[in-house]
A and B are shown apart, each in its own frame.
Chain A
């Protein structure tokens, strides 16, 4: 009897608790953060202009406003080998980015480029890159029936045959696009459909993977590799894509900086797993002092492949 009484007292004790007592959720304070510039700037030797997304970070409980793309009032400059090369301003055509018209000799291989962005409300960010030397490409070939992916779907591949420079740490990236026909549909007097090709659109293709185990997907649909696996040798580097044929492909073979490589790989991993709580956390690489993001350079060569 006394045990029953004991249990009754315990039960009564619980019954007197408020609803909050049983709640297993607690609001907690967000971590502290420093307001910083967020920079995404990618330069190549092919650019007719250089654009830079210069935004800012927000607290994790704040909203990121759609209209707050480019931080206004920032001073953004680029130095080439220590000399001021260009001053960027907000693009008149696109309020989202800072832009500089690129001089013909901009982003020269072997030259050092330094980005500096300053603003009274933010810590000044700087980043330095050395423009990579071009990669020696022997040939680029399209390959059908390049295997299947994890879902059993067929894949095609683009094989790039390149020659690596010995003794230098290089990073290579492949990006792909197709010339997609722009069609116009008209009808004749009998109601028949007439299809005319009125132009072509360069449509980016995302790489799915590589049959090369050392290759890594990069943010933006590319695939990249470090030459530490084949230093100084001729090498076939393949990018696989969803099965596709019958188009003209444009293949961009790029020599990229190590920082660009590290950012591209980490940003892609972050993108792929951001919504999956059981995936291991990803820290996105940055090469900006006092900022977030990347200033990356690539020496790019384009090849058209049937």
Chain B
């Protein structure tokens, strides 16, 4: 067989510099200084095979497909955009392209120049039915990088979820090293880090608030997602800007050959996704939307409720997401993507009341709303500069807004004439806007090296919170408008990186690199150099010994309430007072593929964090003075052991994870300067999730989780403090609680079983699935918060009071049913 579409080679660097005279030159110079390997020239008797691997039916690029030459044993895997490059000796070659779940393809030809090999793999019907989840990724013991987990989206879709709403972040919470927040929350606490230390990227664009409905759902619609990965340590140099993790979520590209759709109707929301070709084989689109409808269904009831109270009104809540993406292939070398996401949550209340007495009439109106949401967009250009140099240039815009409004009005009429009018309104607004540009290069000088280098720049605009109030009263001509808040802050963040994935020997492989970053805010510059290292040594019997070291820096901070996912998240920059957060992390572990279906890894890690941010004692989000005066900066330490066994293939697939961990915080002005356990310090965290395909039509899934309870601060005793002024004015005698230290009390352990059954049937034109299941199937009363309360008892006409400590749980057993279809 001969490769389709052979091309002649193009000189790399002259072309590059003629098209991009400045930035790549800088990047290449940096990379050249760091990596002598880049200067390797191609020997005249070696040629490079390059191209893309795609799904034949949809045209979707396949990430992580294996491309290997049989005789030399040289091989590589496709990158995030499905691109590969393999340099081989001039000879006859036999190249296999494999991707489990797809029929492998082989290409045999005489290598005498630099051919382009674009491969369309056909899915294997038999394999796809049986091997539910494909092994799309490089085998765990092969890669140098550790602490990274790829979770196939098919597997995420099979995890039973609350109200049947499949959720990416909830699935990631089931991985070792990742703790959830409170009951039902979508927040991620990775290796003792806080939620602001996670870089969540949707098609490469940061998503600042990934939660709907106070964290009970995440903003990611699984129908529009192609793949998900979590990196919690051993960060390669290309990542930066956050201390604890990188969550990469890539949207599907859209089927470029046929029109398809899928959708679902569940207890809480409905979804519809459509995809298809715009120009067959060249361009495609995908559009996906999701909306809750409890507000629409409940509207008549709510209106009638207000009516019975003598008013006209409506109240409700909804959220929606809209994902869209188009792409066009201009040539074998150029492809353009435009992706877009917007989502919003909104609570609203609109009321009107009217009183009439004789000729007098009063009208009262109340309008209030609470809204928050993200918008992200990315324009991406993939360009093949040469068979060995791939470039990805991206322009992005990202926005998060929190907005609340409350207004009331009062009109007084006499005999139909307006006598007086008054109105009060309050508007609070905060948010962050990012405009960013980045360029990333993949350079394959020879089969033993994969060099990645690039640069990015982000212009942040922070809106730290602004109150606008307006009071109008016609009776005394009052017209007051006040604005309290802090002005917008602009900051620029830049980064340069270079890394080399080097197969030193067949046993020893290393990924090393350097990430350099800078931040400029109000003429205060900050710089950081962050070395990164991942190494793997193949032991006997297929075991890989892995080690990693990375340093990270974070320039932006999040002020948030960690109890529930309030949308009042306030993203703020490093300033002259509030310093950037830094961390270093070291990890050591082993990994092995067991048979063809299982992957096992064990990792021990130690992480230190500097200048982590927290509210001062007694402070809260509900203060509107300078935020810098309400925060403290201190240290964090986390260490632990993670065990992970994953099965991605077969009728039964899923994973088992266990984490033994410790997480500490120390601030000079919190807990009297003493170290204390982090709220999400979990000594034990165990999770098992799996699905089993009983037949073509029926599959079952279950998840069980167990974890040590959260650490919380609870008074152990109480006492009376004397009135310091001794006059009863202001203070009086005051009974307060004694808390010996921060986070001194543990909630009882958390455990939960979720179960689900899918009934699938292929119809003539479409396939439908009924899903039924239950969240918290054995109705465990898991702690949400604890409360010191008073119970009253009435005995023989006497009322007695009794103080009680109550644990409040949020979710009892919650059954769900949903209907989904695809065509």
Contact = CB atoms under 8 A, between A and B. Distances in A.
Interface stretch (B209-217, B219-227, B522-530, B733-741): B733-741
Given A10-B772, A273-B620, A283-B713, 16 more contacts: A25-B807, A27-B806, A36-B717, A56-B719, A61-B804, A206-B730, A219-B721, A221-B731, A266-B672, A271-B731, A274-B734, A278-B622, A282-B618, A283-B670, A283-B671, A292-B717
Contacts of B618: 269-270, 272-273, 279-280, 282
A204 B729 contact: yes
Interface string B703-746: 00000000001111111111011010111001111111110110
B718 to A, nearest CB: 6
11 contacts: A7-B817, A28-B806, A31-B714, A60-B788, A152-B482, A273-B620, A276-B620, A281-B617, A285-B672, A292-B719, A293-B719
B731 A270 contact: no
A185 interface: no
Contacts of A59: 717-718
B719 A280 contact: no
Nearest to A38: B719
A188 interface: no
B672 A262 contact: yes
B774 to A, nearest CB: 8
A276 B617 CA distance: 12
Interface residues of B, number: 67
A2 B471 CA distance: 62
B695 interface: no
Given A27-B806, A204-B729, A3 B738 contact: no
Nearest to B614: A280
Contact of B727 (A10, A27, A203, A271): A203
A283 B740 contact: yes
Interface in B628-646: 629
Contact of B722 (A14, A53, A63): A53
Interface of A: 3, 6-7, 10, 14, 21-22, 24-33, 36, 38, 40, 53, 55-64, 69, 96-97, 150, 152, 203-204, 206, 213, 219-221, 262, 266-267, 269-274, 276, 278-285, 292-293
Of A36, A150, A204, A266, most buried by chain B (CB within 10 Å of CB) is A204
Of B614, B617, B786, most buried by chain A (CB within 10 Å of CB) is B617
B717 A58 contact: yes
Interface of B: 482, 561, 563, 614-622, 624-625, 629, 670-672, 713-722, 724-725, 727, 729-731, 734-742, 744-745, 748, 759, 770, 772, 774, 779, 781, 786, 788, 802-810, 812-813, 815, 817
Contact of B719 (A55, A269, A273): A55
A58 B718 CA distance: 5
Contacts of A63: 803
A220 B759 CA distance: 68
A278 B809 contact: no
Contacts of A285: 672
B561 to A, nearest CB: 6
A13 B441 CA distance: 59
Nearest to A201: B727
A55 B720 CA distance: 8
Nearest to A63: B803
A60 B813 CA distance: 32
Given A26-B807, A58-B718, A58-B719, A278 B815 contact: no
Would you list the 10 A-B pairs with minimal beta carbon distance, nearest first? A220-B724, A269-B618, A281-B713, A57-B717, A33-B717, A33-B716, A61-B803, A24-B809, A38-B719, A204-B725
A40 B100 CA distance: 73
Nearest to A266: B617
Nearest to A272: B618
B759 A3 contact: yes
Contacts of B619: 279-280
A201 B615 CA distance: 41
Contacts of B670: 283
Contacts of A152: 482
Given A60-B737, A221-B725, A280 B805 contact: no
A69 B745 CA distance: 28
Contacts of A56: 719
A232 B740 CA distance: 35
Of A26, A40, A262, A281, most buried by chain B (CB within 10 Å of CB) is A281
A60 B770 contact: no
A25 B745 CA distance: 18
Given A26-B806, A204-B727, A283-B671, A213 B629 contact: yes
Contacts of A262: 672
Contacts of B806: 25-28
B737 A25 contact: no
A219 B732 CA distance: 12
A24 B812 contact: yes
B717 A60 contact: yes
A7 B482 CA distance: 57
